[in-house]
C-alpha cells in the first residue's frame, strides 16, 4: 500500500507518517515548509522520518500548485491520501485570510481533483472542531448544525467538508473527514497555547490567560489521533442505497462519505490545564488574565460514539500523561546537550 501524507512536516502529519513507516507502508510526504512557525522544527521532523528504516519519499511543494501535485501522482501510484496540509490557527486567519484561501481551498481542491483523476481508493482529510462555532449544545454531535463559523479558518474547514462530499457523490471517491479537537503532544505546534505557555513558564515570563481562565477544551493526545487515522484507512466508506435516504445526515449519507469527531470526550478547564502544566514543569506560571479573544469559542467537547462504533477505538489518554510526555520531549528538544536542533535560536533558559 502506498500512502500520500500532505503536511507531513507538520505536527500531526509527522506523527502519522512515523507510524505508517513503522508499519511498513510506503509513505510519500509533501509539505511547503512555510514559515508560519519554526521551519527548523519542520525540518527536524522530516529528518526524523528520513532516519527511519522503511520507505519514505519527501517532496517540498505547495498543494495549491496543481502541476506539482499532479507530478507526484504521476510519479507514484497512490492508494490512500491523508490530506492534512492546511494553514492552521484560528487567530492568524483574522490577520492573513489570503493564505487560508490559497492552502485550505485551492490546495484542498487540487487534492480532490488528483483523487478523481488518479483513482485514489480512500481520501481521508482533516476537519476541525472549529466548524461548530459557538454551538452551545454539548457534547458536539457530528449531526449538530455547523453553519455559523466564527473564523475564516473554521469556514474553510466547513467548506472542505462540503467540497469533499460533492466529489464523493459525483465521482464515488470513498472519503472520510475527521473533525480534530485541540491536538497536543511531543513535536507539537509552537503557535498553540500549551506550547507557548511552556516556553513562557520556563523563561519565567507572563502567560496570557483568556476569558479569565474560564474556557474548556477537549484536549486530544496526538497518539490517539494517529491510532484513529491508522485504523480508518481500512474502513473504506461505501455508498448507501437510495432507499435508506431517510437516514441521511452528515455522518450517514448516500455518497461514500463519512464524517467523525475525534476528541477526548473530557473537556478540561483552562486553569486546570495550566496547573497540570505547572506540575509537569515543576514551576508556577505568572498569569495575566485577559478577556475572550475574537474567533475563540468557550467550550469544545466531542461526542465520538460513531467513531468508536466504526473502529472500536476512541481517544482516552489522560491530560496528565499527555502533558508529561510533551514536557519531556520539549526539554530534550530544546537542550543542546540532548538534541542539536540546528541554527535556530534556543530559548534563553538553556543558553
Among all residues, which ones are annotated catalytic? 153
Binding test (CB under 6 A) with ligand NAD, winner from 78, 126, 173, 232: 126
Dihedral sign, CA of 198, 201, 205, 211? positive
Least CB distance to ligand NAD at residue 67 (A): 13
DSSP state of 22: H
Is residue 74 packed enough to be buried (19+ CB in 10 Å), middle (13-18) or exposed (0-12)?
A: exposed
Site for ligand NAD in 40-99 (CB under 6 A): 42, 62-64, 84-88
Instruction: Give min distance, CB of 337 to ligand NAD, in A.
Output: 26
Rounded to 5 degrees, φ, ψ at 43 are -60, -40
Q: Which of 29, 107, 139, 322 binds ligand NAD (CB under 6 A)?
A: 107
Using CB under 6 A, which of 3, 4, 5, 10 touches ligand NAD?
A: 10
Whether the link from the prior residue into 307 is cis, omega within 30° of 0, is: no
Question: What is the smallest separation between the CB atom of 291 and ligand NAD, expressed in angstroms?
Answer: 23
72: nearest Cα among 6, 25, 17, 153 = 6
Which parts of 191-250 interact with ligand NAD (CB under 6 A)? none
Near ligand NAD in 319-348, by CB under 6 A: none
Quote the cell numbers at residue 185: 503532544
How many residues bind ligand NAD, per CB under 6 A?
Answer: 28
Interacting residues of 333 by C-beta distance below 8 A, sequence separation 6+: 44, 187, 339, 341
Q: Which of 82, 108, 167, 180 binds ligand NAD (CB under 6 A)?
A: 180
- Looking at the Cβ atoms of 11 and 257, the one nearer to ligand NAD is 11
Please identify, among the stretches 29-37, 197-205, 240-248, 315-323, the one whose residues bind ligand NAD according to the rule CB under 6 A. Answer: 29-37
Query: Contact at 8 Å (CB) between 15 and 48?
Result: no
In angstroms, give the least distance from the CB of 133 to ligand NAD.
14
Strand pairing partners for 31? 60
Q: Is 128 in the site for ligand NAD (CB under 6 A)?
A: yes
Name the site residues for ligand NAD (rule: CB under 6 A).
Answer: 7, 9-13, 30-34, 42, 62-64, 84-88, 103, 107, 126, 128, 180, 182-183, 189
Amino acid at each position: 500500500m502506498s500512502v500520500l501524507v500532505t503536511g507531513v512536516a507538520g505536527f500531526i502529519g509527522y506523527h502519522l507518517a512515523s507510524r505508517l513507516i513503522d508499519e511498513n507502508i510506503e509513505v510519500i510526504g509533501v509539505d511547503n515548509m512555510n514559515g508560519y512557525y519554526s521551519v527548523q522544527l519542520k525540518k527536524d521532523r522530516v529528518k526524523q522520518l528520513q532516519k527511519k528504516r522503511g520507505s519514505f519519499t519527501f517532496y517540498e511543494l505547495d498543494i495549491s500548485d496543481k502541476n506539482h501535485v499532479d507530478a507526484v501522482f504521476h510519479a507514484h501510484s497512490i492508494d490512500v491520501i491523508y490530506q492534512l496540509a492546511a494553514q492552521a490557527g484560528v487567530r492568524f486567519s483574522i490577520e492573513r485570510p489570503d493564505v487560508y484561501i490559497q492552502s485550505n481551498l485551492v490546495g484542498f481542491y487540487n487534492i480532490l481533483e488528483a483523487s478523481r483523476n488518479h483513482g485514489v481508493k480512500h481520501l481521508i482529510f482533516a476537519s476541525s472542531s472549529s466548524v461548530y462555532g459557538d454551538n452551545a449544545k454539548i457534547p458536539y454531535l457530528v449531526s449538530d448544525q455547523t453553519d455559523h463559523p466564527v473564523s475564516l479558518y473554521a469556514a474553510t474547514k466547513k467548506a472542505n467538508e462540503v467540497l469533499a462530499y460533492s466529489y464523493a457523490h459525483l465521482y464515488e471517491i470513498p472519503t472520510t473527514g475527521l473533525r480534530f479537537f485541540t491536538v497536543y503532544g511531543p513535536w507539537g505546534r509552537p503557535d498553540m497555547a500549551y506550547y507557548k505557555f511552556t516556553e513562557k513558564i520556563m523563561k519565567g515570563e507572563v502567560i496570557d490567560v483568556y476569558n479569565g481562565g474560564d474556557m474548556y477544551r477537549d484536549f486530544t493526545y496526538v497518539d490517539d489521533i494517529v491510532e484513529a487515522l491508522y485504523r480508518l484507512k481500512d474502513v473504506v466508506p461505501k455508498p448507501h442505497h437510495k432507499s435508506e435516504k431517510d437516514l441521511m445526515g452528515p455522518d450517514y449519507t448516500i455518497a461514500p462519505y463519512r464524517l467523525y469527531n475525534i476528541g477526548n470526550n473530557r473537556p478540561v478547564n483552562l486553569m486546570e490545564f495550566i496547573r497540570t502544566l505547572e506540575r509537569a514543569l515543576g514551576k508556577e506560571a505568572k498569569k495575566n488574565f485577559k478577556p475572550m479573544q475574537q474567533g475563540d469559542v468557550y467550550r469544545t467537547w466531542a461526542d465520538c460514539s460513531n467513531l468508536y462504533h466504526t473502529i472500536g477505538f476512541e481517544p482516552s489518554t489522560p491530560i496528565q500523561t499527555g502533558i508529561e510526555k510533551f514536557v519531556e520531549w520539549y526539554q530534550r528538544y530544546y537542550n543542546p546537550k540532548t538534541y542539536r536542533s540546528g541554527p535556530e535560536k534556543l530559548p534563553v533558559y538553556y543558553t
